[in-house]
Amino acid sequence: MKVVVQLDALDPYKEIKHHEETVLVSGKHGGVVSFVGTMRDFNDGEDVTAMNLDHYPGMTEKHIEAVCQEAMDGWDVMDVLVVHRVGDMYPADPIVLVAVWSAHRASAFDACRYVINYLKERAPFWKCEVTTEGKKIWVEHNSKDPGVAESREKLA
Amino acid sequence: MDIDVKFFASLREHMGRTSDKVTLEGEATVADVWGQLSSEPMPSNILVAVNKEYTDLSQVLKNGDEVAFFPPVTGG
The string of pLDDT tens digits covering residues A74-123 is 999 999 999 999 999 999 999 999 999 999 999 999 999 999 999 999 99
**B-interface mutation test, from A3, A138, A143, A148, most B Cβ less than 10 A away:** A138
Judge whether residue A153 has pLDDT over 80.
no
Query: A8-26 pLDDT, tens per residue?
Result: 999 999 999 999 999 999 8
Burial A87-111 (b: 16+ CB within 10 A, else e): eebeeeebbbbbbbbbeeeebbbbb
Restricting to B residues 23-62, those with a Cβ less than 8 Å away from any Cβ of A are 49, 52-54
* Domains with residue ranges and CATH for chain A: 2-155 (3.90.1170.40)
Closest CA to B70 of A118, A59, A144, A65: A59
Statement: residue A155 has pLDDT above 80: no
**CA–CA dist B33, A62 (Å, integer):** 24
Report which of residues A43 and B7 the model is more confident about.
B7
Given an 8 Å threshold on Cβ–Cβ distance, is A124 in contact with B73? yes
User: What average pLDDT is seen over chain A?
Assistant: 93
The pLDDT mean for chain B works out to: 97
Q: B21 phi and psi, to 5 degrees?
A: -130, 135
| CA proximity to A94, closest of A2, A22, A16, A146 | A16
- Give the span between the Cα atoms of A32 and A79, in whole angstroms: 9
At residue A72, what is the residue type?
A: M
Q: Which ipTM value was assigned to this complex?
A: 0.95
Residues of A in contact with B73 (CB under 8 A): 120-126, 142
- Architecture per CATH, domain B2-70, reads as Roll (3.10)
* Domain residue spans of chain B: 2-70
